[in-house]
Amino acid sequence: EAAVTQSPRSKVAVTGGKVTLSCHQTNNHDYMYWYRQDTGHGLRLIHYSYVADSTEKGDIPDGYKASRPSQENFSLILELASLSQTAVYFCASSLNTGQLYFGEGSKLTVL
């Protein structure tokens, strides 16, 4: 049974619309992350969190917000989706050991 689950797995959004990507983990890990994957750029960190009700900016936070209402849940929010945010988004959890456990990814297409 998958320990990090993402929803939706695929979404088509319109430019300027709001998008929420959700992540749920059953690993009992303190750390959770949102990464963006693009061809030619690899994996880039958007936001992360090490405790509920607190989030930290990663390397490319502009245009994204994050929310961690509980240890198990971590959401990524695009208030005004843009074409440049078309990508595959990965959520991950960790015990702060460097071993990240990733979900299966959410493919976002902004038209």
Partner 1 sequence: GDSVTQTEGQVALSEEDFLTIHCNYSASGYPTLFWYVQYPGEGPQLLFRASRDKEKGSSRGFEATYDKGTTSFHLRKASVQESDSAVYYCALSVSGGSNAKLTFGKGTKLSVKS
Interface residues with partner 1 (CB under 8 A) are 4, 31, 35, 40-45, 48, 50, 58-59, 90, 92, 94, 96-105
Instruction: Take residue 79 and report the two structure tokens written for it.
Output: 């208030």
Q: SS3 letters for 18-40?
A: CEEEEEEECCCCCEEEEEEEECC
C-alpha to C-alpha distance for 21 and 11, rounded to whole angstroms = 9
C-alpha to C-alpha distance for 94 and 91, rounded to whole angstroms = 11
Nearer to partner 1, 4 or 81 (CB): 4
Nearer to partner 1, 18 or 41 (CB): 41
Min CB(84)–partner 1 separation in Å: 18
Min CB(51)–partner 1 separation in Å: 11
Nearer to partner 1, 79 or 104 (CB): 104
